[in-house]
Amino acid sequence: MASTELGAPGESRFNPQESEMNYQTIVNSILDSYPLGGQVGRAWNVDRVTRWISALPPNAPETAKSSGKNAARAATVEAIVGFVFHQYGATTAHRLFHTRILPHLKPLLEPSLQPHVDVVCNRLGGLDGPLAEVVEASSLQGSSAGSVHHAEPPKKRASAAM
């Protein structure tokens, strides 16, 4: 039996290798266009910045129309995550997923996984925490590979008179 208990505050003891859950099924179900668009896209208000018009006739069932709208919302969310990954790197995209997307999908998860969503979200800065870590340029020496740091470029020094 898998241990899904939470340890000390802020510590998760969940071990997926010991679990009997099928994680691929869970991932496929929450990242499907209907929940991704319906939960995350709606929470992000992507309808304000996108335009989608159903190709279905006006007398088509409302469920068919909303399915298309959720697919458009999901594609928008996926595009935003892709942009963040491309522009800011894997660390920032990872933080975006765990703090801005997964909390909206938490009700769709197995009850034993739901507390872990909060633990990881809080560990990564919370729902409103910064996505990219800002550090001083002098502290970039020796930074770990794959970390995303946004700092001002070093100022050019005035060249000495020749």
Q: What is the DSSP string of 37-83?
A: IIIIIHHTTGGGT------S-TTS-HHHHHHHHHHHHHHHHHHHHHH
How does pLDDT run across 58-105, given as a tens digit for each residue?
888 877 777 788 899 999 999 999 999 999 999 999 999 999 999 999
CA distance 55 to 57: 7
CA distance 67 to 64: 5
Amino acid in the structure at residue 14: F
Helix (H) or strand (E) holding 92: helix 90-96
How does pLDDT run across 18-39, given as a tens digit for each residue?
567 788 888 888 888 889 999 9
